[in-house]
């Protein structure tokens, strides 16, 4: 069995990066993001990236770090409301954006990983989401064709992994990570805990190791996107 374990995020990305590549990044807000792999991606200096992610992090964390350095040329996202730099670049025509309904984005990622080139959905019909896309009627209703997403690289964050790359995501940190883990030509997983093969309950595995090429163990900072308190 090939050794999938790397000593650092930098080493885990070594040989995988190039300019103009498409990268899918797991997470929802700051929950379940592969924060150390994102930092290593930033530090690599690659440019003109197309990033597929539910959102773009915040100004000081997550994909917001890559927006600060202007390494992202295009975003395919569902929600971007927490990032002022994202807004500035968008309004200044410095960043190309494809907005995608959240459920459609999840299904496009899942479809890409399952080898499905496209599917029809009612979501977005009659709106700018459907502009330029094929539509078709089924049983009297109109549907729009959405394409599955395949990327050059997928970066995900998991709670536990074994040495063969089987992954378990924890609670809401699961979010987009399972779909993104399957849609990339190469998948790198940042994990909090690594265990020997055989220690994970097979019924609890979210992503089989066949989809995961590289693993790196990190310590998460677990930042809070929006803090709400009561007196």
In three-state secondary structure terms, 119 is strand
* Topology of the domain covering 18-99+150-217: Glutaconate Coenzyme A-transferase (3.40.1080)
pLDDT digits (tens, 9 = 90+) for 130-178: 999 999 999 999 999 999 999 999 999 999 999 999 999 999 999 999 9
Q: Give the gyration radius of the chain's Cα atoms.
A: 18
DSSP code of residue 136: E
pLDDT digits (tens, 9 = 90+) for 41-79: 999 999 999 999 999 988 889 999 999 999 999 999 998
Taking residue 101's Cβ as centre, other Cβ atoms within 10 Å add up to 16
Following DSSP, what letter does each residue of 31-90 receive, concatenated? BT--HHHHHHHHHHT--SEEEE-S---BTTBTTHHHHHTT-EEEEEES--TT-HHHHHHH
Give the residue extent of every domain in the chain. Answer: 18-99+150-217
156 has which bridge partners? 189
Q: How far apart are alpha carbons 167 and 175 in whole angstroms?
A: 14
| Residues sharing a CB contact under 8 Å with residue 44, sequence separation 6 or more, in sequence order | 10, 13, 17
pLDDT digits (tens, 9 = 90+) for 103-112: 999 999 999 9
Phi/psi of residue 171, nearest 5 degrees: 50, -130
Q: Do residues 181 and 37 touch, judged by C-beta distance below 8 A?
A: no
């Amino acid at each position: 069995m090939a050794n999938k374990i790397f000593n650092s995020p930098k080493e885990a990305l070594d040989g995988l990066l190039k300019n103009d590549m498409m990268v899918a990044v797991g997470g929802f807000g700051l929950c379940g993001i592969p924060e150390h792999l994102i930092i290593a991606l930033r530090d690599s200096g690659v440019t003109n990236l197309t990033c597929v992610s539910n959102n773009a992090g915040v100004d000081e964390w997550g994909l917001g770090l890559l927006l600060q350095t202007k390494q992202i040329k295009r975003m395919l996202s569902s929600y971007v409301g927490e990032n002022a730099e994202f807004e500035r670049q968008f309004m200044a025509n410095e960043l190309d954006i494809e907005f995608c309904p959240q459920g459609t984005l999840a299904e496009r990622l899942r479809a890409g990983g399952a080898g499905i080139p496209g599917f029809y959905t009612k979501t977005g019909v009659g709106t700018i989401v459907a502009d330029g896309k094929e539509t078709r009627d089924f049983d009297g209703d109109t549907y729009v064709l959405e394409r599955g997403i395949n990327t050059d690289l997928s970066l995900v964050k998991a709670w536990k992994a074994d040495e063969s790359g089987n992954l378990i995501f924890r609670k809401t940190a699961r979010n987009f990570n399972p779909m993104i883990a399957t849609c990339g030509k190469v998948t790198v997983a940042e994990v909090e805990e690594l265990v020997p093969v055989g220690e994970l309950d097979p019924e609890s595995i979210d992503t089989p190791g066949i989809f995961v090429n590289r693993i790196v163990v990190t310590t998460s900072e677990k930042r809070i996107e929006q803090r709400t308190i009561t007196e």
